[in-house]
């Protein structure tokens, strides 16, 4: 349900717990992003989309962090906005993408 406000979605719905992270350093790993975000609560999943160029696998410079609970996502927005990871200040916002289970 993409037209339902976050506040009305159950806490178990993935979009209420998923953070969209932009301005990632291309060298940042999923594990590095996980370690940074774990400061605010347990994480279910970290994804940094990539593309292949020849033999290289390159980061697209953004990622998603799915927390176990919505309150951890809200704490991340409050406490980790602008955190510098691998030389880049992270830009955080709630993700509204539809996730597949």
Given pLDDT bands bounded at 50, 70 and 90, which one contains residue 101? very low
pLDDT above 80 for 2 = no
Instruction: Give percent of the chain with pLDDT exceeding 90.
Output: 76
Mean pLDDT, residues 52-72: 94
Kindly report, residue by residue over 3-44, the tens digit of the pLDDT.
445 555 555 555 579 999 999 999 999 999 999 999 999 999
CB 15 within 8 A of CB 95: yes
Could you list the beta-strand ranges (E) of 1-101.
18-22, 43-47, 50-53, 56-59, 62-67, 84-85, 88-89, 91-94
The per-residue pLDDT for 16 is: 76
């Amino acid at each position: 349900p993409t037209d339902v406000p976050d506040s009305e979605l159950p806490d178990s719905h993935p979009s209420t717990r998923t953070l969209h992270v932009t301005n990632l350093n291309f060298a940042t790993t999923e594990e590095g992003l996980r370690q940074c975000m774990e400061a605010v609560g347990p994480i279910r999943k970290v994804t940094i989309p990539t593309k292949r160029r020849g033999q290289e696998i390159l980061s697209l410079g953004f990622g998603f962090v799915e927390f176990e609970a919505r309150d951890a996502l809200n704490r991340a927005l409050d406490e980790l906005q602008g955190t510098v990871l691998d030389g880049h200040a992270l830009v955080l916002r709630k993700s509204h993408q539809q996730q597949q289970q």
